[in-house]
């Protein structure tokens, strides 16, 4: 399964943390319900691509990412709209809300779908 860490730099009061065995994804609680379907879609699509490609190699991750994002495009648009609506009563200023949500989604995509970082063995 592909997952990772999302660090939201703007406002992250009481974030919800989704954790797997290797990494966690941190999302502001106020927009988590809006982006959860997008997370699910990305996971489902990336797992389908992994199966279709016969497993994961570092070279396959860019294509897996491209296909997963493409197949989840409509769910991403709904997540964006719902997250913006959820932020209407938040401390995030209205003029930065679209960028705030967009950067959260981009970070989510990058962290979930990029090849995992390997630690170099210590000798």
* Cα–Cα dist 5/48, whole Å: 21
Question: How confident is the model at residue 21, as a pLDDT?
Answer: 40
Please give the share of the chain, as a percent, with pLDDT higher than 90.
Answer: 44
Of 23-32, 66-75, 101-110, the least confident: 23-32
Question: How confident is the model at residue 115, as a pLDDT?
Answer: 66
* Cα–Cα dist 112/36, whole Å: 13
Of 70-74, 77-81, 83-87, 90-94, the least confident: 90-94
Question: How confident is the model at residue 9, as a pLDDT?
Answer: 33
Q: What is the pTM of this model?
A: 0.74
Q: What is the pLDDT of residues 5-53, one digit of tens each?
A: 333 333 344 455 554 444 567 788 899 999 999 999 999 999 998 888 8
Angle of helix 97-113 relative to helix 32-52, nearest 10 degrees?
30
Domains of the chain, by residue range, sit at: 16-113
Question: How confident is the model at residue 116, as a pLDDT?
Answer: 67
* Cα–Cα dist 71/33, whole Å: 20
């Amino acid at each position: 399964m592909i997952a990772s860490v999302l660090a939201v730099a703007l406002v992250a009061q009481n974030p919800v943390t989704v954790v797997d065995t290797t990494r966690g994804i941190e999302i502001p609680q106020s927009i988590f319900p809006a982006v959860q379907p997008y997370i699910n879609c990305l996971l489902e699509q990336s797992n389908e691509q992994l199966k279709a490609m016969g497993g994961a190699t570092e070279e396959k991750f860019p294509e897996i990412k491209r296909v997963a994002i493409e197949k989840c495009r409509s769910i991403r648009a709904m997540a964006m709209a719902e997250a913006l609506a959820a932020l209407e009563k938040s401390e995030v200023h209205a003029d930065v809300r679209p960028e705030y949500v967009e950067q959260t989604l981009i970070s989510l995509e990058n962290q979930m779908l990029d090849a995992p970082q390997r630690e170099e063995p210590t000798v």
